Amino acid sequence: MTQQSFTFEQIHIEVARNASDDFNLFHDKHKWLQITHNPFKGPIVLGFQLNTLIEYQMRLYREAQHEDQIIAEKQLRFSNYQITFVNALRPRQEMALNIKKTLINTIPELTLTNRVAMKSQGKTILLGYKKETKSPLFLADVDLGGLPDLNGIADKTVVPGTDFFLKRKWMNNGNVKNFLSGSFAEQSDYFDELTHVAHYPEVYPCSLTSGALLEKAQLENHDFKRNPMVYTSHDISVDRVHLARVKNNDKLHILVKQLPESKDNTLNQTSIMLRTYECFGLLEDGTILYRIKLNLVPLEEILRNLRGKAA
């Protein structure tokens, strides 16, 4: 097991939210005060920022254990993150990241698995797994073959004949470097202009999904101050083969579909219904770069549940 400690400052949050166009009030150093009954008493670190920290530390771990060679030889092209958020992390709050020893399974297919956990001040911030596989672990059975050419569809509209909201973004090396730096990842391990090296990290393109969700909610007149939403989990599968060809100014089509809420899909040990989204990042030629299943809940529901327990 490896363990390392990190302490985010507010500037790390500013850099990450600006680099990913995330305008969620929870991360804003002024506007967090405008959120009704905000329990966090200040801005909080972005979920995708924490995922990027995990990505980088796992990269260093794989290299140290020579597991990157197994991944290449066995063509484990999918990088998967299975993250459950338990508590929020504030700036200036020291946090420890634990990475457990790799488990190698061969059934049903070759998989490298590491349990990860973040803890701060005696509380668990997040728990989850990082897994390397030959096929995606999440949303693998969703067929996007029947989609029209997304290049011809207007930004911030619903794709005709589907339930997908489309948000179009462009890759930008400067934004990626900032996001890496804001997440305690060494940008020079990914980019070196003098040697013409530019390898995009896995989580950054996925992080743009948060902005897409916010823009979708804004168009639906969602009240971010009175009814903010918080992530409870991220299930991410990134295709490393397609990622290897992503470069500056590449177009990214982000597709977001909200599933119907159901009493069969609730937050652990509560009756709070999860709001589940299926999200995809497609390159200009229609290939799928990433698949994400996100769960959110209204902050109001969590607070009501906590009040009920305290009563």
Residues contacting 75, CB < 8 A, separation 6+: 134
Using alpha carbons only, what angle is made at residue 167 by residues 163 and 173, rounded to the nearest 5 degrees?
A: 145
**DSSP code for 224:** T
Residues in the chain: 311
Q: What percent of the chain has pLDDT over 90?
A: 71
Question: How many angstroms separate the CA atoms of 178 and 20, rounded?
Answer: 9
Considering Cα of 86, then 219, then 52, then 43, what sign does the dihedral take?
A: negative
Question: What tokens appear for 28 in the block?
Answer: 């804003």
Contact 96, 72 (CB under 8 A): no
Render pLDDT for 203-254 as a digit per residue (tens, 0 to 9).
999 999 999 998 998 888 887 788 888 899 999 999 999 999 999 999 999 9
Question: How many angstroms separate the CA atoms of 114 and 116, rounded?
Answer: 6
pTM across the whole model? 0.94
Question: How many angstroms separate the CA atoms of 287 and 27, rounded?
Answer: 32
Query: 278-300: string of b/e by CB count within 10 Å (b at 16+)?
Result: bbbbbbeeeebbbbbbbbbbbbe
Residues contacting 2, CB < 8 A, separation 6+: 57, 61, 98, 99
Render pLDDT for 139-167 as a digit per residue (tens, 0 to 9).
999 989 889 999 999 999 999 999 999 99
Whether the per-residue pLDDT at 277 is higher than 80: the answer is: yes
Contact 277, 294 (CB under 8 A): yes
Q: What percent of the chain has pLDDT over 70?
A: 98
pLDDT for the residue 307: 65
Whether the per-residue pLDDT at 306 is higher than 70: the answer is: no
Question: How many angstroms separate the CA atoms of 20 and 205, rounded?
Answer: 9
Mean pLDDT of the 14-24 span: 91
Mean pLDDT of the 7-31 span: 90
221 class by beta-carbon count within 10 Å (0-12 exposed, 13-18 middle, 19+ buried): exposed
pLDDT for the residue 308: 63
Considering Cα of 266, then 267, then 269, then 270, what sign does the dihedral take?
A: negative
pLDDT for the residue 310: 52
Position with higher pLDDT, 39 vs 5: 5
Question: How many angstroms separate the CA atoms of 268 and 61, rounded?
Answer: 31
pLDDT for the residue 218: 86
pLDDT for the residue 309: 59
Question: How many angstroms separate the CA atoms of 80 and 102, rounded?
Answer: 14
Render pLDDT for 36-86 as a digit per residue (tens, 0 to 9).
888 888 899 999 999 999 999 999 999 999 999 999 999 999 999 999 999
**DSSP code for 13:** H
Question: What's the mean pLDDT when you consider all of the chain?
Answer: 92
Banded model confidence at residue 113, pLDDT cuts 50, 70, 90: very high
